[in-house]
Structures are given as structure tokens and as C-alpha cells.
Chain A
């Protein structure tokens, strides 16, 4: 019996990162915009 390593396709990895990354970046951007008020 031989073990085969099943690698996740690159597009799936990219899709997962985008799925999580876009909302997170939006949130960080909004928070940074609010944080700028500290320096005004």
C-alpha cells in the first residue's frame, strides 16, 4: 500500500485567503480611518 499526498489546488488556497482576507482588510481599513482621528 502506498501513501499518496493529496495537495490542495492553488486556486482553492487563494479563494480561501480571499474569502477571509477581504472582510478583514475592510475591517482594518475602517478601524484605521477611525484611529486617524487621534492624530487630528
Chain B
């Protein structure tokens, strides 16, 4: 997109890379904001209405962006892909979460893992598809972005409408064959529900917010800079082509981690899953500079892949954690508010990595060691996440919604 007037090389009036970077940043900000603002509406209006709205906004975002490309107006792209697309991402991201939790009361972690894995998996479809479409539409005088945007808008709209048509909320008393709700609920798993506006007033909400922010900041910094970091830590060993391969492998682990870690959380519990992320994460972040120091590429790659799987796992486990703490009724809306932690991490992560690297290089540290301090800071950040996770206790009963006796133990207690 930087070459819209110049075809083979930049021409005067082409957009700069820094101007284009804002498109993604605006989208991320509006993802968090729309998830927080419209979360309650998504929860009360149901997933079909929300998915339909997300589909319309998402496709409109592409069409408005196509107009921006046609008239070479960056503000139209900020509005289209940034604002409309960001709102679509926020509403679309949270809309399947509580529905899937209701369909899988026996495996809420696996359910949220499937929902959030879709978001990670989408990148693997969109990226090669976009490249293929641009190659198809490219001519001697056009790089093909305009037609690619229009085509992507149509394809996404079709797929999202099929999803919106198929989605169904289960009946209130629905449960899988043979499933019996535990008679004695676990300490951190409530059978009640907390209203979204009460939930954000509890310390548990903010502790989960910090837990997600710490895990995401650590992961996003590595994910965004993996290519440059690997080449600088292993100069001459990891080539740009190999680094691109590493990024591809990381995206698969990011997607797989979303499903696997969230599923594991059904067996070991949400709190223990995050403890695993933090303890294992600290060990791996400390190991990265060591692996670079001894020139061990396989160890370095292993560390990055596990780190990025836990980054994805953090996203997918958090809705189930919120369901455990605050109940299922407003989990989508509460999840929407928690996603502002992602927006914050989107700023902290890259800033920590880039600025500390630059500071180190300006102070005479060799490029290969410039990331070491950042890795130790990330490990410290995970230590903070560990402490916050440790402090999470069950939500006080005074926050529970009245007349919410919904499952085994509550009904049994009420009957006695």
C-alpha cells in the first residue's frame, strides 16, 4: 500500500510506512473500545444480531478502504479499516464466546479455545489469500489493492453471514448427554452470575485484567519483533528467509496454543493454567539470551514457540476464567471490558522491546545482546502476573445477581 502511485518504486505522494502503521493501531484501539462498550448489547441481543452487525461493519470497512485507495485518501482508510473494521473485530470477537460456553458446560475452556482459535486461525487464511488476490489483480499500472479489498469485503461478508445464520443459543436447561453438574462446586467456580457493571468494581476483575495484560505484553513484544530479533541475535545464522519461516511457525503455535491450553485448563483449572504460563514463561524468557549466547538455534526456536503458544493460550483461557469467577450470564460483556488489557499490551509490548533495544544500542551494547535486558524485564512482568494470579479469590456473594440459582449445588441447597 505504500506504492499506490509509484508501481515498481515509491513516488512522491505515496503513503509512508509510519502513516500506514496507524491503520492497525486505530483498529486495535477500537477493537478494545467496541468490545467494552457493546459487550452488554452483544450479551442481551444474542450472537446472531451481533455477528450480523460485525459482518456488515467488517465488509463496509473494506469497501470504504477501497474508496480510500481509489481516491488516495488515507483518512478514508483510517475510517474504514481502522474505525469500522476495529468495531467489527471487537463485536465479532466476543459474540461467539458465551454461546459456546453455554453449549459446552462440561468443557468451557475447550469452548472458548475454539472461539478464540478462530481469530488466530483467520490470519493464516487471510494472509496467503490477500497475497494471492493482489497477484491476480496486479497490472502494469496497478498493484491490485483496490480490487483485493472489494473481493475480500464480499468474501468475508458471505462467510460471516453463513456463520450468523447457523449460530444458535441452546435452550436454558440444555446439557450434553450424560453430563451432571458437580454437586460440590469448586472454590473458584461460581454457579451464580455477576452483573457486568458490578464485575468491573471487583478486585478480581482488575487482577484478571493485569494477568492478561502481563501475559499479552510479554507475548506481543516477541511476536511482533520475532523476525528482526532472531536475525540480530543470530547474525549470519538466521537469514531473512529463515526468520520468515520462524514467524510462520509461530503463527501455527499461536493458533494451536489457543485451543490446547484452554482445553488443558478444563482439567487443571484456570488459575493453575496461568501459573504455568508465568512460571514456564519466566524460565523461557531467561533462557532466550542464554540460547543466543551459546549460539543454540533449536533451543531459541523452542523457547519462542512455547512462549507464543502461551500468548495465544492466555487469550483463550481468560473467558473461561471470567466465567468461573463471574458466572455465564454476562461473561461476553465482562470479557469485552477485559479486552482493553489487550489494547494496553499492544502499546506496552512493542514499546518495551523497541525502545530498550534502541537505548542499549545507543549505549554501545552489541546488537546480538541488545534484547537481553528486555527479556529479563518481560520475565519480571510475568512475575507481576504470577502475584496477581495468586491474589485472585472467589467473588464476594454480595455481587451475585439475585434469583440466579442455576445449577446442581445451588438448587440442592435451596431445596434443603
- Which residues of A does B touch, CB under 8 Å? 16, 19, 23-24, 26-28, 30-32, 34-40
Contact = CB atoms under 8 A, between A and B. Distances in A.
B125 A26 contact: yes
28 contacts: A16-B166, A19-B162, A23-B125, A24-B124, A24-B125, A26-B125, A26-B128, A27-B124, A27-B125, A27-B126, A27-B128, A27-B129, A30-B124, A30-B128, A31-B251, A31-B252, A32-B252, A34-B248, A35-B248, A35-B252, A36-B245, A37-B241, A37-B248, A38-B245, A38-B248, A38-B249, A38-B301, A39-B245
3 interchain residue pairs of minimum CB distance:
A38-B245, A27-B124, A37-B245
Contacts of A32: 248, 252
Contacts of A35: 245-246, 248-249, 252
B234 to A, nearest CB: 12
Given A19-B162, A35-B252, A28 B245 contact: no
A34 to B, nearest CB: 4
A2 to B, nearest CB: 14
A34 B244 CA distance: 7
Interface residues of B, number: 21
A39 B246 CA distance: 9
Given A34-B248, A35-B249, A35-B252, A28 B242 contact: no
Interface string B160-187: 0010001000000000000000000000
Contacts of A39: 245
B255 to A, nearest CB: 8
Contacts of B243: 38
Interface string B207-250: 00000000000000000000000000000000001111110110
A38 B249 CA distance: 9
Contact of A37 (B124, B242, B301): B242
A31 B301 contact: no
A28 B249 contact: no
Contacts of B301: 38
A30 B242 CA distance: 15
Nearest to B123: A27
Given A32-B248, A32-B252, A38 B124 contact: no
Given A34-B244, A34-B245, A39-B245, 5 more contacts: A31-B128, A34-B248, A38-B246, A38-B248, A40-B245
A28 B124 contact: yes
Contacts of A23: 125
Nearest to A38: B245
Q: Which of A24, A36, A40 has the most CB of B within 10 A?
A: A24
B26 to A, nearest CB: 26
B242 to A, nearest CB: 5
B144 interface: no
A31 B242 contact: no
Contacts of B248: 31-32, 34-35, 37-38
Contacts of B46: none
B244 A37 contact: yes
B408 interface: no
A38 B252 contact: no
A9 to B, nearest CB: 13
Contacts of A34: 244-245, 248
A38 to B, nearest CB: 3
Contacts of A36: 245
Contacts of B252: 28, 31-32, 35
A19 B395 CA distance: 41
Nearest to A39: B245
A26 B129 CA distance: 10
A23 B163 CA distance: 14
A30 B249 CA distance: 11
A27 to B, nearest CB: 4
A38 B128 contact: no
A40 B121 CA distance: 25
Contacts of B249: 35, 38
Contacts of B241: 37, 40
A30 B301 CA distance: 20
A27 B121 contact: yes
